[in-house]
Structures are given as C-alpha cells and as structure tokens.
Amino acid sequence: QVQLVESGGGLVQAGGSLRLSCAASGGGFSSYNMGWFRQAPGNDREFVAGILRLGGNTFYADSVKGRFTISRDNAKNTVYLQMNSLKPEDTAVYYCAATSRWSASMEYEYIAWGQGTQVTVSA
C-alpha cells in the first residue's frame, strides 16, 4: 500500500501563500486518485481538493475554489496543494490521502493517509 508524507506547512500572514507537497512511496502512485483534507481544532476533517490519477481532472471544496490549486507529478510520485490568498480560517492540519474511487470527497473513501502538516494563518 502507498505511504504518504506531507511537507511545506508553516506560519503565514493572511493574504499569503504556501505550497504543500505530499510524497508517495511503496509503489502504484499513478494508479491512485489523490485528495487533500484538513482538520481544524474542534472540527471534523473536511475535504479540500481532489485530483484524478492522470491529473486532468480536479475538484474543490467551495471554501477554497479559486484560491487553492491541486496538481500532481506522477514522475516524482508527488501531489501538491498551492494555497493562495490564505485566510485565518484556513488554519488547520492538512492531510493528503489516496483512493481508488473516482471524484471521492468523503473521508471514508480514502484508504491511505499521511501524518499531516500544520498550516497556521495569522490575521
């Protein structure tokens, strides 16, 4: 099964940008559809963005549409989340995850998860 490791989190001011990376190992990365989720303190984990295995199709939560961009490089076994115009309400631990389902946006549909990376946006 694929193993996932996120990086790129940190502290940024409102209006700033961050780029998260998720490196996959264990084989088969290009056969998985990938997603990003986030979890703020006291909240459930929520879907942020998804991308299909060949990278041609992406989909987003309404709260990040137009500000975040998901992409992937199958040659590097990596999926990215470019986050622009960040807001304090984007503060959360961000997780990448893998699924064999199409256009999956529910947590239970994903079979492998990274450990998460903290993103903090100050006002």
Contact (CB, 8 A) for 22 and 76 = no
- pLDDT attached to residue 55: 79
Please report how many Cα atoms fall inside a 13 Å half-sphere around the Cα of residue 69, on the Cβ side.
Answer: 10
Tens place of pLDDT per residue across the chain (123 aa):
899 999 999 999 999 999 999 999 998 999 999 999 999 999 999 999 999 998 789 999 999 999 999 999 999 999 999 999 999 999 999 999 999 999 899 999 999 999 999 999 999
- pLDDT attached to residue 27: 85
Closest CA to 31 of 98, 81, 97, 107: 98
- pLDDT attached to residue 56: 81
- pLDDT attached to residue 1: 86
Beta pairing partners, 93: 39, 118
Q: DSSP secondary-structure letter at 108? A: G
The CA distance from 20 to 17, in Å, is 10
- pLDDT attached to residue 88: 97
